[in-house]
Structure 1
Amino acid sequence: MKPPSIRSISRACLLALGTLIINPAASHAQPDTLRVVMQTGLRLMDPIMTTAYISRDHGYMIYDTLLGLDSKFQVRPQMADWTTSEDGLVYTFTLRDGLKWNDGSPVTSEDCIASIRRWAEVDGTGGPLMTLVDEMKPLNEKSFEIKLTQPTELILEGLSKLGARPLFIMPKKVAETPASEAITDYTGSGPYRFVNEEFQPGIKAVYEKNPDYIPRDEPADWTAGGKVVGVERVEWVTMPDQMTAVNALANGEVDYIQQLPYDLIPLLKDNPDVTVKVLDHLGSWTYFTMNPRQPPFNNKLLRQAALAAVAQKDILDAMVGNPEYSKPCAAIMGCGTVNGDETGKEWIVEADKEKAKALMAEAGYNNEPVVILHPTDIALFSTQPVVIGEALRSVGFNVQLKTMDWQSAVSNLTNDKGPDEGGWSIFITGASIAIAKDPFGNSMLATDGKAVTRPNVPEILDLRMQYAKAPNAEARKAITVEIQNKAMEEVAAGPLGQFQVPAAFSNKWTGFLEAPVTVFWNVRKAAD
């Protein structure tokens, strides 16, 4: 029997699921509209209040950043250029000409200072940076000064960071909103403007080209260079069923899929109208975090036992299933990065079940329940809980999987009570290597005990500040080795390996940037 075509499968799936169908005829009516399927629907539009990548990607659409970061990890001017005093204590930033808010008013130095203050209230890099800031003050409408108490490279690294919480510049009146309170005014100065009247939370978000945006006169490179907008309108549409999204791309109903599931790659790989490509070459790491406030993982020996019980190969085989897109790695700051150190590799990458059992015996494990949160609606993180559960049972842990959707799992993380009161023991997630590569961008190294997901390890906090104050790269590298040692001793997070996720897009479009963040400047219609 002849197998059904992708097109026929698409029609059946769309009819059966009742999912949003985009009329192909509309594509001809609006040739300048790029339709994309992001990894999840946009709900929270304040990219400072959350570290969610979807909110960060929204931020890059409508806001601009003071500084950019290129593919060589060099900090470059974006909204502003800067000069540094000879003693390294005073940085003077000057805004470039032509920066305007969507309402036509100019971007000012006071807007920038207010945005830095709000960002620093909650950001893992901004907070430590502000402990080294003596003063921030405007010099005039276009220039401002940051005076440090001592030299640190953290200032440029922080102001140019990619995320999960980049420093997006907002109008002063918006940036004065407490970081704990979501903004409701989405006035930006970035390459696109947010079309609020068409927003359907979790379903659809629409952006239009900002006619007043003047890009830098340089080639685009990650978040640096010219953000040249080549498409009038971008629509983010939500398709929870991945097969539906793949078939919609094959049929020309959408133009781009941010994350293509590994098992669906064969459906598009040989399609002459579609490109399947890894755009983030550094990739991401997947890891699990344990609740350090409740038994059994309030005991670091049992955290070590859980980590020792799990083989990364088993995780990656189930999650990815293709070594082309994955590799084992024990480094909490990523393999292939300047700070990557694999201390502990011998028991972190390969399962050491005897070590796990010995640690459990030493800790006096008493069959306390281990509740693993198991989100089922994001394919990328749905397999790890099952594999970890089997591994932990094999060494004697009493494991329970708690099935739910991703949003419920994330919401559950604030519950620091025991399993009998709805609490949790293990949560699995992931993060970009480009972000996790340093002790401040890596959120799991903010070990202040304030979040339920992180243990209280003052030694790591102290090492991070030593890193910020280090005089050279050699001193920094030595400190990162110490951080890796301590992080694995305390199991600040359990590395499960690294992976890349390909995107897929229609060949009618070109210019998708190869970068660790998803951006839609530089994209344009391909030449006929």
Structure 2
Amino acid sequence: MRIRRISAAVAITAAGALAISACAPGGSTGDNGDDSGLVEGSSITAAWNQAFYSMNGNTSFGNATANNNINYLVLDGFNYYNNTPELVKNESFGSYELVSEDPLVVTYTIADGVKWSDGTDVDAADLLLNWAALSRSLDTPDFDPGEFTDPETGEFTDAFPTDVVYFDSGATPDAGLGLVSKTPEVSEDGKSITLEYDKPFVDWELSFPSPLPAHVVGKKALELEDAAEAKQAVIDAIQNEDAAALAPISSFWNGGFNFTAMPDDPDLVVGSGPYVISNFEADQFITLTANPEYAGENSPNIEEITIRFIPDPLAAVQALENGEVDIIQPQATADLVTALDAIDDITVATSLGGTYEHVDLQFDKGKNPENIFKDPKVREAFLKTIPRQEIVDTLIKPIIGDDAILRDSQLFVPGAEGYDESAASNTSADFAEVDIEGAKALLAESGITDTSVCILYASNNPRRVNEFSLIQQSAAEAGFEVTDCGSEDWGGLLGTPGAYDASLFGWQSTSLGVTNSLPTFQTGAINNLNYYSNDEVDSIVAELNTTFDSAKQIELQAQMDKALWEDFYGVTIFQFPEVTAFSGRVEGIESSILAPTVFWNAWDWSVTGAE
């Protein structure tokens, strides 16, 4: 018998997130005689629509859902979101203490017995490197890496200067760890660091993500063999602001953990989470195995989880029906829902997700020789041609019915407090329907001679292919020559100069913080991949970062939303429908509205024994 569950999505904040009400499942007891719940020899297979390519999700290159789903399970941290969603302190990894509110001072301490998967202790060296990378306080001033980025891959080229300190974290001096300009103090026992913020930061509790192994970075960057020596070398380089050592350290932090198949060097997959990467076949699958050194509270039940990369939603459904995979959460399409309806003995959960579809325009360094979207008239003209309502009606409504609506805000989720007021006061209504004649007039006024617009999108995603086709046809009526920059490797190209003129993809909410979406729009921030810069927007971002009053936060976000639409930043289209399906072989599957969605509690998954 087929089981179908439909979850209603409910907005609970104005900070760019939705939430579904659900209970977090508990772990099961295994048959191996200990209390961990791990069942020796147990294995399952899940599917995802994009291949993994970086174990560092804190760079502009690696910051992608496909990477962070895996990194969430192999790199432990101080907190995470459950599927309520609420922030859970992970005190088995470490604790953090608010020492002072004014000035804002926070101490992070690693718990006793926490080790990397190679047996090395996790300690203050890892935390200090995390600060250096995510604050960029030690970076070489005024360095621009743009000319050293490969337009084909999005990675830094071999011509990148070897004497430059540059951490590719997108940190800015008025948000997150960018506000911690002074080098943190390290405790005498080497397990804690204390950070003092230059000014209060509203989401300080979310500003310190999972660290990477400092001993691995030190060994590779400084050509050292001993882990303890390498850790100390990293500490010394940071505390002494030694640019000669920090240059190779930053370079390795940026690119050393990028790989598209199982690396020959086992140091590159050293992790601290419940799982470690044990096998990786390029473009096929990645396998995670229970970390034998993990002693935290989130010990897994299943020994091995393999994640197959299946971009085509219908192929994922076929794999589920054939028993080749146990869990899928593909890009939702009408055909997908129909196909799932025909399968017995599976559970399907459908809801609105925390991801939204949008089109962004390149404000600088686009592919068009005339840098077409520097002109606001051309930006407005192009946005008038995007068939937002047609995309929703033809591609999304068949999946979730009348719940499929246009999203009319860059910052607020439909249904969230502040959304209706912001949508009414911004200019999104000007782009609700296609206006070809208005676009033609603006294009003529601009004087632009090269109307080519190359759009970057996931070429192996059927829904995005359909969206691209609809946009291409509509824009052509106004005189734009829309060309295809689609790529299977689109994620790594988003921040690459000269790679495209417009992009079509989805942003996924990772937290409930008020600053969750701000790095997308702030000049130079990690998610600002289209070289957007607006003084008014930057000023609002800086104020939001230090505003603790919720009513004022909503007011500021509405002001920012209005400014973005009036600047023709791009258009939002729809909130993603989310479909999770799994077989009777597994239990404990409860997706979250926030990233990493279905993987948030993978340690609680268990095998039922059913076939």
The TM-score with structure 1 as length reference comes to 0.81
**Partners of 2:358 and 2:185 in 1: CA distance:** 41
Q: Which amino acid aligns with 1:289?
A: D
Asked if 2 retains the 8 angstrom alpha-carbon contact of 1:510 and 1:524, the reply is yes
Task: Indicate the residue corresponding to 2:168 in structure 1.
Answer: 122
Task: Indicate the residue corresponding to 2:185 in structure 1.
Answer: 137
Structure 2 residue 380 is the aligned partner of structure 1 residue 304? yes
Q: Which amino acid aligns with 2:532?
A: P
**Shift, 1:428, TM fit:** 0.8
**Partners of 1:459 and 1:174 in 2: CA distance:** 42
Q: Which amino acid aligns with 1:459?
A: E
| Unmatched 5+ stretches in structure 1 | 1-28, 160-166, 217-226, 417-422
Structure 2 residue 240 is the aligned partner of structure 1 residue 169? no
Task: Indicate the residue corresponding to 1:219 in structure 2.
Answer: none
**Shift, 1:126, TM fit:** 6.9
The partner residue of 1:288 within 336, 359, 369 is: 359
Structure 2 residue 221 is the aligned partner of structure 1 residue 153? no
**Partners of 1:456 and 1:449 in 2: CA distance:** 10
Q: Which amino acid aligns with 1:146?
A: L
Task: Indicate the residue corresponding to 1:495 in structure 2.
Answer: 572
Q: How does 1:243-262 map to 2 (within 5 A)?
A: 243-259=314-330, 261-262=332-333
**Shift, 1:270, TM fit:** 4.6
**Shift, 1:338, TM fit:** 5.2
- Residues 182-232 of structure 1 deviation map (CA, whole Å, 9 limit, x = unaligned): 23622111010111xx3222222111112332333xxxxxxxxxx341101
The partner residue of 1:463 within 540, 544, 559 is: 540
**Partners of 1:66 and 1:136 in 2: CA distance:** 17
**Shift, 1:115, TM fit:** 2.1
Q: Which amino acid aligns with 1:62?
A: V
**Partners of 2:555 and 2:123 in 1: CA distance:** 40
Asked if 2 retains the 8 angstrom alpha-carbon contact of 1:311 and 1:351, the reply is yes
Asked if 2 retains the 8 angstrom alpha-carbon contact of 1:69 and 1:75, the reply is yes
Q: Which amino acid aligns with 2:45?
A: R
Q: Which amino acid aligns with 1:406?
A: E
Range 507-516 or range 436-445, more displaced = 436-445
Provide the secondary structure at the position in 1 that maps to 2:118.
Answer: coil
Task: Indicate the residue corresponding to 1:372 in structure 2.
Answer: 455
Q: Which amino acid aligns with 2:78?
A: L
Asked if 1 retains the 8 angstrom alpha-carbon contact of 2:428 and 2:565, the reply is no
Provide the secondary structure at the position in 2 that maps to 1:81.
Answer: strand
Provide the secondary structure at the position in 1 that maps to 2:56.
Answer: coil
Task: Indicate the residue corresponding to 1:96 in structure 2.
Answer: 111
Provide the secondary structure at the position in 2 that maps to 1:64.
Answer: coil
Asked if 2 retains the 8 angstrom alpha-carbon contact of 1:375 and 1:406, the reply is yes
Q: Which amino acid aligns with 1:400?
A: V
Task: State the identity %.
Answer: 19
Task: Indicate the residue corresponding to 2:412 in structure 1.
Answer: 334
**Shift, 1:434, TM fit:** 4.4
Q: How does 1:378-527 map to 2 (within 5 A)?
A: 378-394=461-477, 396-402=478-484, 404-407=486-489, 411=493, 414-416=496-498, 424-434=500-510, 438-439=514-515, 441-448=517-524, 453-515=530-592, 516=594, 517=596, 518-519=598-599, 520-526=602-608
Asked if 1 retains the 8 angstrom alpha-carbon contact of 2:124 and 2:190, the reply is yes
Provide the secondary structure at the position in 2 that maps to 1:424.
Answer: coil
Asked if 2 retains the 8 angstrom alpha-carbon contact of 1:47 and 1:58, the reply is no
Provide the secondary structure at the position in 2 that maps to 1:180.
Answer: helix
Range 93-102 or range 502-511, more displaced = 93-102
Task: Indicate the residue corresponding to 2:65 in structure 1.
Answer: 53
Inter-CA distance 56–452: structure 2 relative to 1 (3 Å threshold): closer
**Shift, 1:241, TM fit:** 4.8
Asked if 2 retains the 8 angstrom alpha-carbon contact of 1:80 and 1:95, the reply is yes
**Shift, 1:495, TM fit:** 1.1
Structure 2 residue 95 is the aligned partner of structure 1 residue 81? yes
**Shift, 1:506, TM fit:** 0.9
Asked if 1 retains the 8 angstrom alpha-carbon contact of 2:117 and 2:291, the reply is yes
Task: Indicate the residue corresponding to 1:181 in structure 2.
Answer: 255
Structure 2 residue 282 is the aligned partner of structure 1 residue 201? yes
**Shift, 1:513, TM fit:** 3.1
Provide the secondary structure at the position in 2 that maps to 1:76.
Answer: strand
**Shift, 1:243, TM fit:** 3.6
The partner residue of 1:269 within 341, 344, 349 is: 341
- Residues 253-294 of structure 1 deviation map (CA, whole Å, 9 limit, x = unaligned): 211123154212222225332122247x44311111222234
**Shift, 1:358, TM fit:** 4.5
- Residues 356-412 of structure 1 deviation map (CA, whole Å, 9 limit, x = unaligned): 344334434546223334643112422222111222223x23223226432168538
Asked if 2 retains the 8 angstrom alpha-carbon contact of 1:415 and 1:452, the reply is no
- Residues 19-73 of structure 1 deviation map (CA, whole Å, 9 limit, x = unaligned): xxxxxxxxxx996111122112223333233112111112012111122234566
Range 257-266 or range 406-415, more displaced = 406-415
Length, aligned pairs only: 473
The TM-score with structure 2 as length reference comes to 0.70
Inter-CA distance 391–385: structure 2 relative to 1 (3 Å threshold): same
| Unmatched 5+ stretches in structure 2 | 1-38, 136-166, 219-248, 258-266, 365-369
Bigger relative CO (Cα 8 Å, ≥ 6 apart): 2
Inter-CA distance 63–203: structure 2 relative to 1 (3 Å threshold): same
